[in-house]
C-alpha cells in the first residue's frame, strides 16, 4: 500500500510517499512559500535527481495538486496515477483530549480537530487546510489524522494537571498535553526492539532533542509524563524557546520593556532558548564551535542545556521509580556525540556508564552504554513519517 504522508504548515507542505509493505520512501519533497511570491516545490524521487519546480502556489490546494503531478510525472514521478496512492496520513499537532490515538478522517473528526484550534492556533488551522486540500483533490482516498498529542493521553491527572484553579481546566481544558508524541512512541518502541525486549516490560525515558525538544517517561509502553505542556513552550531549554521559567518573569519583563503579552510570547518562542542565551545561534553546531573558540557564554549555554535535560531524566526516573533505558533522538540527540556524553555525566547515580567508542556515532540505531551499565543508553533516529505511514496503513486496511 502506498501512503502519502503530509505535514502541512501555514506556508509550507512537506510530503513523503511510503510503500507501507517495504517501508521504502518512494519520494519526498517540500512546497515552500505557499500563498506568497516565489513559491517553490522541491521533489526528490528515490534513485533519481532532485527537481525544483518554481511556479505560483496561491493556496494549499494548488500545492497538493502540484505534489500529485510530481508524484505521477512521466519523468520524475514514482507512480503511474493517483490510483496508486492508497491512503493519506496527515500530521495534526493538537488533538486535545478528544484524540488518544490516530483516527480515520470524516466530517465529524474534522469538526473535532477544529475545536482544538484554540490550543494550537499556529498549527491546527494549517493542518486542517492541508487535509481539506487533499480531500478536494483526492475525494475517494481514505485519510488518517495522526496527532502529536495522542501518545501522551495516557498521562495520569497528577502529571497533567497544573497548580492552577481547577476551573481553568474545566472551562478551557488548560492542562499538560505534550508534543512530539509520534516520535516518543516510535523511539520508545524501537529502543525496546534494539534491546531485544518488548516495550511493555520496560521503563524508558525518551529525550527528543531537536530545535524543539521534549523528554518523556514511557512506563511499560504508556506515557506517564512529558516535559512539554499546554503548548510546546514548556520543558527543557530549546533552540529558540525558553522552556520552563518562573511565570512571574513575563509580567516583570513586560513592565520593564513595555511589551504586550503577545510580544512577550513571541520572545519566549522565537528569541529565547540557546539562541537568546548564547547570542550566537539556535543551531547547536554553531554554539559548539563558538564554545571551542573560547566563547564562555556559548559554553555556559551548552552546560545549561545539558543540565536541563539531565534534570528531566532525574525527575522521570523518580516518576517511574526506576529506569531501564534512556534513548536520545532528533537532530541534537542523534548527532551530538559530546552532548550525549555530557548528559550521561549527570547519570552516574543511576549506575549508567556511557561507552565513548559506541557513543561516537551519528544518526545510527545503537546502544551507546557499556555492557556493565545498569541503565541502557541508546541513540535511536526518529522517523515520524514512517510512524504516520504505519498508523495510516493499519487504520485503512
- Restricting to residues 218-257, which ones interact with ligand AMP according to CB under 6 A? 239
Q: What are phi and psi of 38, to 5 degrees?
A: 85, 30
Nearer to ligand AMP, 271 or 285 (CB): 285
The Cα–Cα gap between 165 and 160 comes to 14
Residue corresponding to grid cell 516518576: 319
DSSP-derived letter for residue 102 is: -
Question: Taking CB under 6 A as the rule, does residue 12 contact ligand AMP?
Answer: no
Annotated catalytic residue within 107, 118, 140, 148: 148
Cβ distance to ligand AMP smaller for residue 285 or 397: 285
Contact string (CB under 6 A) for ligand AMP, positions 350-369, x = contact: ------------x-------
The residues that bridge with 243 in the sheet, in sequence order, are none
* Residue from 73, 283, 324, 353 in contact with ligand AMP (CB under 6 A): 283
Is 378 among the residues that bind ligand AMP (CB under 6 A)?
no
Q: For residue 385, give the DSSP letter.
A: H
Here the cell at position 388 is 504516520
**CB 283, CB 239: distance < 8 Å:** yes
To ligand AMP, the closest distance from the beta carbon of 377 in angstroms equals: 17
- How many Cβ atoms sit within 10 Å of the Cβ of residue 243? 21
388 interacts with ligand AMP by CB under 6 A: no
Is 148 one of the catalytic residues? yes
Binder of ligand AMP out of 210, 229, 243, 273 (CB under 6 A): 210
Count the residues of the shown chain that bind ligand AMP, applying the rule CB under 6 A: 13
CA distances from 271 to 184, 242, 276 (A): 26, 8, 5
Closer CB to ligand AMP, residue 2 or residue 16?
16
Q: Which residue's CB comes closest to ligand AMP?
A: 331
- Residue 213: Cβ within 10 Å count: 29
Q: Kindly tell me which of 99 and 151 has the beta carbon lying closer to ligand AMP.
A: 151
State the nearest-atom distance from the C-beta of 1 to ligand AMP, in Å. Answer: 28
From 72, 18, 62, select the one nearest 40 (Cα to Cα). Answer: 62
The strand pair at 13-19 and 24-32 is best described as antiparallel
Q: Alpha-carbon distance 370 to 357, whole Å?
A: 10
Which of 120, 302, 330, 380 is the binder for ligand AMP (CB under 6 A)? Answer: 330
**Contact stretch for ligand AMP (CB under 6 A) within 3-11, 94-102, 118-126, 330-338:** 330-338
CB 275 within 8 A of CB 281: yes
Binding site for ligand AMP (CB under 6 A): 210-211, 239, 282-285, 330-332, 335-336, 362
Which of the residues are catalytic?
148
Amino acid at each position: 500500500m502506498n501512503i502519502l504522508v503530509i505535514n502541512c504548515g501555514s506556508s509550507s507542505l512537506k510530503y513523503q510517499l511510503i510503500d507501507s509493505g517495504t517501508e521504502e520512501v518512494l519520494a519526498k519533497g517540500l512546497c515552500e512559500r505557499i500563498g506568497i511570491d516565489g513559491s517553490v516545490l522541491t521533489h526528490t524521487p528515490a534513485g533519481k535527481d532532485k527537481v525544483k519546480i518554481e511556479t505560483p502556489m496561491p493556496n494549499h490546494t494548488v500545492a497538493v495538486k502540484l505534489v500529485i503531478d510530481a508524484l505521477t510525472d512521466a519523468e520524475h514521478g514514482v507512480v503511474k496515477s493517483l490510483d496508486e496512492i492508497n491512503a493519506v496520513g496527515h500530521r495534526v499537532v493538537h488533538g486535545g483530549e478528544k484524540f488518544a490515538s490516530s483516527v480515520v478522517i470524516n466530517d465529524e473528526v474534522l469538526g473535532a480537530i477544529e475545536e482544538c484550534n484554540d490550543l494550537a492556533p499556529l498549527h491546527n488551522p494549517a493542518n486542517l487546510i492541508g487535509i481539506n486540500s487533499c480531500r478536494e483533490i483526492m475525494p475517494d482516498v481514505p485519510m488518517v489524522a495522526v496527532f502529536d498529542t495522542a501518545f501522551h493521553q495516557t498521562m495520569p491527572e497528577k502529571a497533567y494537571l497544573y497548580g492552577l484553579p481547577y476551573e481553568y481546566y474545566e472551562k478551557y481544558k488548560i492542562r499538560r498535553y505534550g508534543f512530539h508524541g509520534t516520535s516518543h512512541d516510535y523511539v520508545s518502541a524501537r529502543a525496546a526492539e534494539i534491546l531485544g525486549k518488548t516495550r511493555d516490560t520496560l521503563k524508558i525515558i525518551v529525550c527528543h532533542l531537536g530545535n524543539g525538544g521534549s523528554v518523556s517517561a514511557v512506563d511499560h509502553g504508556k506515557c506517564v509524563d512529558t516535559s512539554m505542556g499546554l503548548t510546546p513552550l514548556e520543558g527543557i531549554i530549546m533552540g529558540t524557546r525558553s522552556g520552563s521559567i518562573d511565570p512571574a518573569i513575563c509580567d516583570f519583563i513586560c513592565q520593564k520593556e513595555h511589551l504586550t503579552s503577545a510580544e512577550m510570547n513571541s520572545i519566549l518562542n522565537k528569541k529565547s532558548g540557546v539562541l537568546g542565551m548564547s547570542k550566537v545561534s539556535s543551531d547547536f553546531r554553531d554554539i559548539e564551535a563558538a564554545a571551542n573558540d573560547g566563547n564562555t557564554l556559548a559554553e555556559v549555554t551548552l552546560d545549561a542545556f545539558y543540565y536541563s535535560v539531565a534534570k528531566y531524566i532525574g525527575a522521570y526516573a523518580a516518576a517511574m521509580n526506576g529506569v531501564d533505558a534512556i534513548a536520545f533522538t532528533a537532530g541534537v540527540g542523534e548527532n551530538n556525540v559530546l552532548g550525549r556524553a555530557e548528559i550521561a555525566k549527570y547519570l552516574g547515580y543511576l549506575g549508567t556508564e556511557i561507552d565513548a567508542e559506541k557513543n561516537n556515532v551519528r544518526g545510527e540505531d545503537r546502544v551507546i552504554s557499556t555492557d556493565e551499565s545498569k541503565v541502557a543508553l541508546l541513540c535511536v533516529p526518529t522517523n515520524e513519517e514512517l510512524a504516520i505511514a504505519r498508523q495510516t496503513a493499519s487504520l485503512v486496511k
